[in-house]
Amino acid sequence: MQTIRYELADGIATVTFDEPDSAVNTMCQQWQADMSELAAQLLAEKDAIRGVVLASAKSTFFAGADLKGTMRLKESDAPEIYRGIELVKKNFRTIETLGKPVVACLNGSALGGGWEVALCAHRRIAVDEAKIQFGTPEVSLGLIPGAGGITKMTRLLGLMGAQPYILEGQLFTPREALELGVVHELVPDAASLRAAALAWIEANPKAQQPWDEKGYRIPGGTPDNPKVAGALAVAPAMLRQKTRGLYPAVEFALNAMVEGTQVDFDTATRIESRYLARLIVSPVAKNMINTFFFNMNAIKGGQSRPQGLARWKPKKVGILGAGMMGGGIAYAQASRGIETVLKDVSQAKADAGKGYSAKLTQSRVDKGRMGAHDQQALLARITPTEAAQDLQGCDLIIEAVFENRELKARVTQEAEPMLAEGGCFASNTSTLPISGLAKASARPQKFVGIHFFSPVDKMKLVEIIRGQATDDETVARAFDYVQALGKIPIVVNDSRGFFTSRVFGTFVMEGAAMVGEGIPAAVVEQAGLQAGMPVGPLAVMDETALSLAVHVLDQTRADYRADGGTYIASPGELLVERMVKEFDRNGRAAGAGFYDYPEGGRKSLWPGLGKLFGRDDAQWDMQDLKDRLLYRQSIETARCLAEGVLTTVHDANIGSIFGIGFPAWTGGALQFIYGTGIDAFWHRAEVLAAKYGPGFVVSPQVKHAVREHEPWY
């Protein structure tokens, strides 16, 4: 065996998972072959065995499936995959029905297939460390825990109790696992695991799994139970409403859970295998694995960060502007232990900005998620002020004032001299080119864009923008700062709108253009939702403010004129401009946009849209509408890649999903092209361009860039 070390001494069979040349243990092909050999050896030596200990030579217990192999699968591989899954479970079943006590010594995290390995044991003993995680997060990768995870977790926790961990992929710490009853004992450190395992083996010579015990019943009952039946009756409809049929893994998982409780254990595991074999070769699974595993790990591992520079964390950070963005950044910093100076034009405004953190922390205190002492400590890290002098000694200063070039230049020049030696200055602008803003700086090489998304306390993505003069050290420090906040950094090069705002603009403006074509606003919104966007284009434009979109349009026209050119506004931009300038519909904050917002009532689409833009002869195809919204964003993303605004596929995919809500089922804006098939995507884009204009035209340069960055699989 190459991935497993086996030793039998004093009646104890010690099985140590140790995949060579790998930081973690995975269910690779060699491991699957080794498990068959292990099962055979355990059976052959059964009479000499008093107990079995499952252990790991890695810092984690077991990582799960070999996802690189998964990316190369084709639909025709499904039957072979099914047989492979069944063989893995046959080996698991051999171990747990050996008639000998089996203990899993969980020295570190066990996720996905790793948790399913742990579930083979009759007893699970874990190190009591909060950073260790257990669970089955497969749905987040478009898969299901099909190596026994669904069947066993459902039989341990019941149909209702297991749902958060199977359908939502919720993880749990060792202490939470103990409370759930899926871990049986905690020890203070890894060195204590074996002694605890041997003691339990000695005391329990005839251990077996709960579902193998005579008289076993599933906690909470089966679907025959009236309470369970009532909940299950509405579950599929609720799931469909949430997933819109775009995420088959969640529906398959629920099916396997319910069907499995109505049959014997072995039949239940076969049902599970069939669903997994169908999913694992599907395009959605490939898209989601590519992005949420490989792309995300590329970012976490710092592949977008300039290399060879020491890691950095600022001790003191200043924020200019205590509005919603500035207040949100202050909270994000203070919650991570960073001393924060929050400056505005008046003490009252600065205090109000700190009040945002007080409100957020009080909510956590009220819900029992934070203690009063921790709340006070967090708030004490935020110093609200109107005095620029209080910024003295900041390692980093971020301006988060209104999107006005002159205002940003003024606050930059006032605050920059307060930086500590070697400090950096950043702009939180969402659209204005960083290189232009850096002209106000005395040290443009230390000037960088750090674009947060609203609300800062909820949005995980931060877009780092490298200006023409920004040096590597400043980009690296911005990257480290964002990671220190527990957020996800992507790195892009400077341009108007950068990456996220530019692509987001194509989504909302394509929706506005549809309204201008006479398509009912409700249909436009539904097209966005059916495509998988979290919010329709009109609703999200109201949230970000139509007036802001027009302000950006005016600024863009002015910049083009200053350069001797003319900016040609799109049909969507012209419609939004009319909404603001002719009809005073500025967005949700102003109480009127594409929607009406009656005080104390529910929002509803403004009836005036139909009167102004509706057409009796308007016709539409829902697939065309959905494609327009998705293809327009993907094409603009590909243009960013071709122009060098984006330099990696992983920044594009992660940025599009976490920054602008591009549907997760696609794997992101570039993965949507690769998942569709490059040639098939170009063909569909040509059809859309012929019908709906130049926004869908793909140049040879863009096609070349997409081919050049095609994923490895």
Distance between CA atoms of residues 605 and 128, nearest Å: 53
Q: Let me know: does 603 contact 614? Beta carbons within 8 Å.
A: no
Q: Maximum distance among all alpha carbons in the chain?
A: 89
Q: Where are the alpha helices (DSSP H) in 532-565?
A: 537-544, 546-562
Distance between CA atoms of residues 98 and 101, nearest Å: 8
Q: 314: cis peptide before it, omega within 30°?
A: no
Q: Where are the alpha helices (DSSP H) in 204-312?
A: 226-243, 248-260, 265-280, 283-289, 296-300
Q: Is 116 a catalytic residue?
A: yes
Residue 695: left (phi > 0), alpha (psi -120 to 50), or beta? alpha
Distance between CA atoms of residues 221 and 223, nearest Å: 7
The beta-strand segments (E) located in 174-236 are: 185-187
Look up residue 18 and give its amino acid: D
Task: Kindly name the residue from 96, 116, 416, 573 that is annotated as catalytic.
Answer: 116
Half-sphere exposure in the Cβ direction for 315 (13 Å, CA): 4
Distance between CA atoms of residues 373 and 396, nearest Å: 27
Return the number of other C-beta atoms located less than 10 Å from residue 580's C-beta: 21
Site of tokens 């980009």:
475
Q: Let me know: does 331 contact 356? Beta carbons within 8 Å.
A: yes
Instruction: Give the three-state DSSP class for 283.
Output: helix
Instruction: Tell me the C-alpha to C-alpha distance, in Å, between residue 85 and each of 33, 89, 96, 507.
Output: 12, 6, 17, 41
Task: Kindly name the residue from 19, 96, 138, 399 that is annotated as catalytic.
Answer: 138
Distance between CA atoms of residues 524 and 513, nearest Å: 10
Q: Is 543 a catalytic residue?
A: no
Look up residue 567 and give its amino acid: Y
Q: What is the 3-state secondary structure (H, E, C) of 359-412?
A: HHHHHHHHCCCCCHHHHHHHHHCEEEECCHHHHCCEEEEEECCCCCHHHHHHHH
Site of tokens 């639909």:
75
What residues are annotated to the active site? 116, 138
